Structure 1
Amino acid sequence: MTCPEKALAPSRREARRLDRRQTILEVAARHFLENGYAATSMSAIAAILGGSKGTLWNHFPSKEELFRAVLENATGTYRARLSEILDPGGDLASTLHRTALSLLKKVTSPEAIALHRLIASEGGRFPEMSRIFYEMAPSHTRMLLARFLEGAMDRGQLRRDDPDKAARVLMRLTTSGCHELLLLSQIERVTPQQMESDAAFAVDIFLRAYGADTMTR
């Protein structure tokens, strides 16, 4: 009789394949951020990894697919965490504050800032890169947030409006302070106090605009 745990566990061969895939993603992520999208080639990544180029192509058939996988790898953990934070049973203001703070911690990380600058500098020449970034990062985050806000509207916690636009408003308010300054090289780093202040500001303004009590004003 087969043990369920063993049946679900990956084989040694599959485990090696997953480890190899993760190594490829880590090497590719560094190469994209340090050299740019245009200067990154599958051949260059294969040379860093060692072994045959075929091994890399077996995992990822193109640079575009590799870039998508790098972003998926970088954002997957954040999306899972965000889904946990967006608890419909929790206090709305506290939940929104934790959401804004989580977003700020993510987008002000050195890797996120470098990626954002990469998209800004090369996105015009490589629209597929911008499209993948948009789909995997801001668009997906906004979708999760919009779904939560729509539920809050259904529960009467927020006034009825377009939940997608409301999500966009909250995200823009959240990133309009220290994130923007960091992105434009006006500051070198962001402190926890700055992030707390920006998150509190964003949620306060958002609830003034969308709070249920605004319907009676």
Structure 2
Amino acid sequence: METLIGKAPGKREVRKEERRLAILDVAKRSFLDNGYSGTSMSAISAELGGSKGTLWNYFPSKEELFAAVLDHATVAYRQQLSSVLQPSGDPYATLTAFCRSFIGKITMEDGIRLHRLIAAEAGRFPELGEIFFRRAPQPTQQMLADFFAGQMAAGHMREDDPLAAARVLASLCLGGLHQRVLWGIGEATPAEVEKEARYVADIFARAFDIVHNGAA
């Protein structure tokens, strides 16, 4: 009997993926160091040491390259959120765990640098803001909304628009500590992240009547 075993990628496919990851690594550094407008496909190609045509074969435009950098940077975090936002257990503890994870993520150095990049250049490059929103805030908000919809259906939090509730929580997480770090007047130590996460979770839980079954 034949067994269905996935075919291992060949050397050509492995080299192609390694090249793609190398491009994304160089592009990420360039975007964060030089900004969107200060990054060029030619400069990235020169740093990689290949032809410009090779780069364009992977990514036909700077917009697509920026989108790919964001996708690569956020895919692991979305997987992490999937494990955090479990429908079973104490909803308050889950809420606190999300806040801890999310605030920790957005106050990391790369998260702050990316936020500054978007804020500085989205006015001149509207496509930049849309690319960022579609690949970072929107998926996170939708995952939260799906979790809240389940909690509302189970009677663990008051009925409301789940997506609107998700946006409220995201806004709370983006205030406080994140703003202070963004402005360069605060530091996201583990203790500060924990304090902020519990504060935000408590405010949101009281606003939406979230059931608290135990210690968070």
CA distance in 2, matches of 1:50, 1:90: 52
The AA in structure 1 aligned to 2:189 is T
Partner of 2:105: 106
Tell me by how many angstroms 1:175 deviates.
2.4
Partner of 1:145: 144
Which of residues 188, 192, 216 in structure 1 aligns to 2:190? 192
Partner of 2:161: 162
CA distance in 1, matches of 2:82, 2:44: 33
In percent, how many aligned pairs have the same letter? Answer: 51
Bigger relative contact order, structure 1 or 2, given CA contacts below 8 A and separation 6+?
2
Runs of 4+ in 1 over 3 A off after TM superposition: 1-5
CA distance in 2, matches of 1:195, 1:21: 34
Show CA shifts across 1:154-184 (max 9, x none). Answer: 0000110011111111112222221110011
- Taking only aligned residues, the RMSD between alpha carbons, in angstroms, comes to 1.4
Alpha-carbon contact 2:87-2:147 (below 8 Å) kept: yes
* Superposition TM-score, scaled by structure 1 size: 0.93
The AA in structure 1 aligned to 2:63 is E
Q: 1:48 to 1:169 in 2, by over 3 A?
A: same
Tell me by how many angstroms 1:104 deviates.
0.9
SS at match of 1:96: helix
Tell me by how many angstroms 1:71 deviates.
0.3
CA distance in 2, matches of 1:15, 1:27: 18
SS at match of 2:28: helix
Alpha-carbon contact 2:92-2:210 (below 8 Å) kept: no
* Superposition TM-score, scaled by structure 2 size: 0.94
Tell me by how many angstroms 1:139 deviates.
1.2
Show CA shifts across 1:102-137 (max 9, x none). Answer: 101110111110010001111100010111001111
**Count of paired positions:** 211
Q: Does 1:178 align with 2:177?
A: yes
Partner of 1:131: 130
Q: 1:107 to 1:212 in 2, by over 3 A?
A: closer
CA distance in 1, matches of 2:77, 2:208: 26
Partner of 1:76: 75
Partner of 2:214: none
The AA in structure 2 aligned to 1:123 is A
Tell me by how many angstroms 1:10 deviates.
1.2
Looking at secondary structure, tell me which structure has more helix per residue. Answer: 1
SS at match of 1:8: coil
The AA in structure 2 aligned to 1:185 is G
Q: Does 1:14 align with 2:37?
A: no
Show CA shifts across 1:31-67 (max 9, x none). Answer: 0110111111111100000011111111100000000
Partner of 2:206: 208
